[in-house]
Structure 1
Amino acid sequence: MTDYAVGDIHGCLPALERMLDRVGFSPSRDCLWSVGDLINRGPDSLGTLRYCERLGNATKVVLGNHDLHLLAAVFGGHGVRSKDTIGPILEAEDADRLVDWLRHQRVMEYDANRDLAMVHAGLPHVWSVDAAQRYARELEAVIQGPEAEAFFREMYGNEPGRWDDGLAGVARWRLITNYFTRMRFIAADGTLDLATKDTGTDGPAGYAPWFQYERPDQTRVVFGHWAALNGATNSDRYIGLDTGCVWGGRLSLMNLDTGERLYEPGR
């Protein structure tokens, strides 16, 4: 059995299939870990969602901001934007099943044996691994439960910008979402900068990439979201797998046991 982690697919199903063929991936034996953003912007979001859903127990998925965008359209009444490619999902005859499967995916995966976390955007230094898992389970319960509609109606926004244990309701859930699925630059006190464009590691004064801060643990973190990094974090501990497949770059696949990485050209 081999566990592979794949970067942001964004509906680039042909690249994913070519990559998995190269390594001889078998759902009866292997497991595909996805850092999220399965869908949107790419040519076959519907096919990608169907493919991953069919993998069943042979996949572990964490939700990315584009995956949440689909759920916000379904449960929060938000419109589909001109650059989105989620329309075919919403119109598909199996849309209800696919959406239900997606909303039951996790926000954070943690493998204690490997001391390895997988999240979409990152793991803020102001949270311990245990705390991050608690907040992930809290958000998952909201997404999967009766408060989903209220949350998705108000999910979008950059405030509050800094963690406070006293936060409650939608404001708390929005900030948890932003840490897990939108974070790039963060200040020492945990304040997020979500306005800076995706320009490598050059953030505004007082902010740095989330993976440059000290943590008290040794947990490795597999993440996506930040295509401009092209996977480069200058650290063996923080493993960036978004190499811009949908933007003309490559799809990344990593063997979680050996660390070997493979790349497949995208569009």
Structure 2
Amino acid sequence: MSTYLIGDVHGCFAELRALLAQVNFDVQQDTLWLTGDLVARGSASLAVLRYLRALGSGVRIVLGNHDLHLLAVHAGISRNKPKDHLTELLNAHDIDELINWLRRQPLLQIDHALKLIMVHAGISPQWDIKTAQSCAREVEAVLSSDSYPLFLNAMYSDTPNSWDPERSGLARLRFSTNVLTRMRYCFPHGQLDMLCKDKPENAPFPLAPWFELPRLIDADYAVAFGHWASLQGTGTPTGIYALDTGCCWGGQLTLLRWEDKRYFTQPAEHIPV
């Protein structure tokens, strides 16, 4: 029985299956964790969602910003961009079933036995575990409700950029969503910067990657995340695992076997046009 963590799939279905074949993944015995951004940019988002949905309890997922964008496109709130290669998925006969499954997936996974946290983008330096879990559950509750289009229509904003435990409503949900699915950099006191996407060595002062700031999360817990392909899995402190290695950009898909911390990779089969 093994626990496998895989970075952003982005519709790269052939690479996903090839990577799982490398480790002889067995859904009856093993557990597959995925850092989100299951869809978009790669050409086989439909196959990815169908496959993962069929795995049932053998897979643990967190939603990424591209997954939320798919929900918004399906709801008629955002535009279907050709570069995302979502048309086949949106036209599928089972699209409504897939969307309803997707919007009921969590934004945060915590396994207290493994001392492991998984999120798409990161954990705010201003949050402890209890706060992170509470904020994630609030967003998840809205996404799984009938009023989810109202939230999706309001999520496209970079503000507020600082945590306030007294904040409520859509502003609170938007901050939590930006932390969990979009964050890369923070200011020294933990405020979000939603503009910089450069590599850490090129980031302007005083910005720092969220994982370099002092954290309130218990140090006994490791954090695995995706979202930041330009890191190429490097440059993070002990106990922080960056797993997005840019498969959809012609890089590779990365898998971490948790029990022995061994990495496996699968090169991209096709570089996107």
Q: TM exceeds 0.5? A: yes
Give the CA RMSD over aligned residues: 1.2
Q: Which moved more, 1:158-167 or 1:89-98?
A: 158-167
Which whole-Å CA distance do the structure 2 matches of 1:181 and 1:201 have between them? Answer: 22
Contact 1:40 1:86 in 2 (8 A): yes
Q: Which moved more, 1:138-147 or 1:194-203?
A: 194-203
Which whole-Å CA distance do the structure 2 matches of 1:34 and 1:116 have between them? Answer: 13
Contact 1:76 1:153 in 2 (8 A): no
In structure 2, the residue matched to 1:103 is 103
Runs of 5+ consecutive residues of structure 1 not aligned to the other structure: none
Matched, 1:90 2:90: yes
In structure 2, the residue matched to 1:248 is 250
SS at match of 1:83: helix
Matched, 1:30 2:30: yes
In structure 2, the CA distance between the partners of 1:246 and 1:172, relative to structure 1 (3 Å rule), is same
In structure 2, the residue matched to 1:13 is 13
Which whole-Å CA distance do the structure 1 matches of 2:235 and 2:178 have between them? Answer: 20
In structure 2, the residue matched to 1:161 is 161
Which whole-Å CA distance do the structure 1 matches of 2:146 and 2:52 have between them? Answer: 25
Runs of 5+ consecutive residues of structure 2 not aligned to the other structure: none
Matched, 1:237 2:255: no
Which whole-Å CA distance do the structure 2 matches of 1:147 and 1:97 have between them? Answer: 17
Contact 1:8 1:242 in 2 (8 A): yes
Deviation at 1:205, TM superposition (A): 1.6
Contact 1:211 1:233 in 2 (8 A): no
Residue number among 223, 226, 229 corresponding to 2:225 in the alignment: 223
In structure 1, the residue matched to 2:63 is 63
Contact 1:13 1:47 in 2 (8 A): yes
Q: Identity percentage over the alignment?
A: 42
SS at match of 1:173: helix
What are the residue-to-residue correspondences of 1:36-185 with 2, within 5 Å? 36-75=36-75, 77-185=77-185
In structure 2, the residue matched to 1:264 is 266
SS at match of 2:223: strand
Give the letter aligned to residue 262 of structure 2.
E
SS at match of 1:110: strand
TM-score normalised according to structure 2 size? 0.95
Contact 1:186 1:192 in 2 (8 A): yes
Which whole-Å CA distance do the structure 2 matches of 1:149 and 1:194 have between them? Answer: 23
TM-score normalised according to structure 1 size? 0.97
Q: Which moved more, 1:142-151 or 1:177-186?
A: 142-151
Give the letter aligned to residue 136 of structure 1.
A
- Cα deviations by residue, 1:92-150 (Å, 9 ceiling, x for unpaired): 00001111110011000001012110000011111001110011111100111133111
Give the number of aligned pairs: 267
Contact 1:75 1:153 in 2 (8 A): no
Deviation at 1:188, TM superposition (A): 2.4
Contact 2:212 2:237 in 1 (8 A): no
In structure 2, the residue matched to 1:214 is 214
